A = this chain, B = another copy of it.
């Protein structure tokens, strides 16, 4: 059987897992295509991607790119979006803030110059990360253990999906001092559909 949705990404959690979580949560079957061979990616697949990046989502012979845009699309299908425009704004703002944090964390991870990497890493881990974690943790406390709207939304799914990547690049458990954020993640991981998904999905470095 050919499934209507095909998601293609690397064989890691990263930017793909929030989307996989969303499909799974809504019981929407999808083809979980994973690129494992980096040489094949670089030489054969990357040049065929819309902007040289993954994930991409294929549906009815159309191709979409950009992980957040894809996640928002799936979130609509599985009803994890806002009940009105302002709620959507709050959810989008939470997601974009997590994405800002992701960019800061990635900034040193992919730096090739070891000296620059070290000084950047220090700036991010000692200043920027604690600043974001404190504010996001407060936000989760105010929203009853969720990032927005006092209930489960795709912002929570995004955080829970990308958390492993965050810890991998930060080289530590960044949620150790952010109990409300840890609670957001644990809430998602304990949803029966997500728990089953995590049990059966490939074990990867991050």
Contacts and interface: CB of A to CB of B under 8 A. Distances in A.
Interface of A: 50-52, 57, 59, 62, 64-66, 68-70, 72-73, 76-77, 85-86, 88-90, 92-93, 95-97, 100, 103, 116, 131-132, 135
A199 B77 CA distance: 42
10 contacts: A50-B135, A52-B131, A64-B93, A68-B96, A69-B96, A70-B89, A70-B93, A72-B89, A73-B86, A103-B103
A1 B12 CA distance: 54
Q: How many copies does the complex hold?
A: 2
Contacts of A85: 73, 76-77
Contacts of A62: 86
B51 A132 contact: yes
Given A73-B88, A73-B89, 15 more contacts: A50-B135, A51-B100, A51-B132, A51-B135, A59-B86, A64-B90, A64-B93, A65-B93, A65-B97, A66-B93, A66-B96, A68-B92, A68-B96, A73-B92, A76-B88
A48 B50 CA distance: 39
Chain A interface helix/strand/loop/mixed: helix
Contacts of A89: 57, 64, 69-70, 72-73
Contacts of A132: 51
A67 to B, nearest CB: 8
Question: Most chain-B CB neighbours within 10 Å: which of A69, A77, A90, A93?
Answer: A93
Nearest to A119: B113
Contacts of A59: 86
A135 B65 CA distance: 13
B51 A69 contact: no
A93 B187 CA distance: 29
Nearest to A89: B73
